Amino acid sequence: MEMIAIQIEIFIMTAVGYYLGLRKTLDAMTRAHLVDVIMAVVMPASIIGSFEMAITPEILRMTISVLAIACALQLFYALWNHVFFRGTEESHRACLKYGIMVSNAGLIGMPVAEAYFGSQGLLCAAVFLLPQRILMWTYGVSMFAGTKDRHAVRRVLLHPCVLSIFIGFAVMAWYSAGFTLPEPIVGAVDFIGGCNTALSMFVVGAIISECPLREMLDREALVYSFERLIAIPIIVAVVLHLLPVDAFSAEVCVLLSAMPAASTTAMLAEKYHADAPFASKLVMTSTALSLITVPLVTIGMRLLWSL
């Protein structure tokens, strides 16, 4: 019942974003600015807030486990791309491969993980995204550009969400030493971070409002969405269930593996003259369908780990 209530809350917030998108209150330019605010301020505050606890052996094991799974998943995505997209039309291949390797776990996955699993879920999500953030600006850009971006490493290290993880570990070490942060600072961080889920879902709803039904029925976009939203998380869930991984870490990783294509898929396709309209179809179709598939995946994995 708690899971259903959370999903209804997420759906309502997304519906508000959909309405704002239809009214053009959240048009493309406004969304771009709002995403900048979320990524630069709101989400970093939310991440730092999730580290406001003392380090325990359990938390250390959990974060190491999540990081290991995230690294293994990137290798799995590379193998998937090598096997399934050989015969794909060349103008679509980079979009599909990038869309498999880089999900929208940053914008959608983190607030959803926080909603389902609380602050520890958000902490795990932040750690889970480290390998993806590194690869999306290095190997991912090379899929479109053909060469590696020499500024990619600097861009990764200075990304606000990455910086907030390092700040978060410092905060955790501070708490572990027996100290606490001043209440005004903790309060401000928590208030700002508390906007994360609502603002992120507003953006998602506004994106979906611009997706005509006929574009969602594109066969290649639907096949991709099935792979990204259903097939991959099922495989991940089964493998992790068979391995000696703690249930909490495994469930967070499965949830994040079920996220739709990242919005950067369309942005990079536009920048490097790939098929930007097709990339936009991948983003919008998978994002819209994720409203149905994410709760189903969550229910399924809870049933799997309850066996």
Tell me the pLDDT of the chain (307 aa) as tens digits. 666 677 778 788 888 998 999 999 988 889 889 888 988 899 889 889 888 888 888 888 999 999 999 999 999 999 999 998 887 887 788 899 999 999 988 778 888 888 888 888 989 998 998 888 888 877 777 787 765 555 655 666 677 888 888 898 899 899 998 888 899 999 999 899 888 888 888 988 888 887 777 767 788 999 999 999 999 999 999 999 999 999 999 999 999 999 999 878 877 787 777 887 888 889 888 988 988 899 899 889 888 988 7
Beta-carbon contacts of 95 under 8 Å, excluding residues fewer than 6 positions away, are 265, 269, 274, 275, 278, 279, 282
Distance CA 255, CA 114 (A): 11
Give the residue among 195, 76, 64 at the shortest CA–CA distance from 123: 64
* Tokens coding 292: 């149905």
* Tokens coding 143: 């899929």
Give the residue among 230, 232, 60 at the shortest CA–CA distance from 240: 232
The H-or-E segment that residue 84 falls in is: helix 57-84
Distance CA 241, CA 203 (A): 33
Q: Are 159 and 126 in contact (CB under 8 A)?
A: no
* Tokens coding 233: 């998380």
